[in-house]
């Protein structure tokens, strides 16, 4: 599992085109029980240029406001994992 420190180090040292798998599983499901994953995902969303924006309904959404330093993608590994959810690799690519 990628840690906060691993993520920060990778962002500092990765060259354009370098890729890293920062999570394998179901990000939406796994974030609920993994605070480290929440931090890593939010760091990478920030590096992709996204920021939280209030939407006027007591909630927030992500909006791309800055020039991205990474490109975030996912690759489907299986249609149904051991918990009944699809399994993906979540990949960050340095820009």
pLDDT 10s digits, 7-38: 999 999 999 999 999 999 999 899 899 999 99
> In 3D, which of 62, 27, 20 has the Cα closest to residue 41?
27
| Whether the predicted pLDDT of 79 surpasses 90 | no
> pTM for the whole thing?
0.84
Distance CA 42, CA 70 (A): 13
Q: How confident is the prediction for the chain on average, in pLDDT?
A: 89
């Amino acid at each position: 599992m990628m840690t906060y420190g691993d993520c920060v180090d990778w962002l500092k040292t990765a060259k354009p085109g370098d890729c890293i798998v920062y999570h394998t599983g179901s990000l939406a499901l796994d974030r609920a029980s993994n605070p480290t994953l929440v931090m890593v995902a939010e760091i990478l969303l920030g590096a992709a240029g996204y920021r939280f924006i209030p939407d006027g309904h007591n909630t927030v959404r992500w909006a791309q406001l800055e020039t991205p330093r990474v490109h975030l993608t996912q690759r489907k590994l299986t249609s149904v994992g051991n918990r009944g959810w699809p399994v993906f690799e979540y990949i960050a690519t340095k820009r």
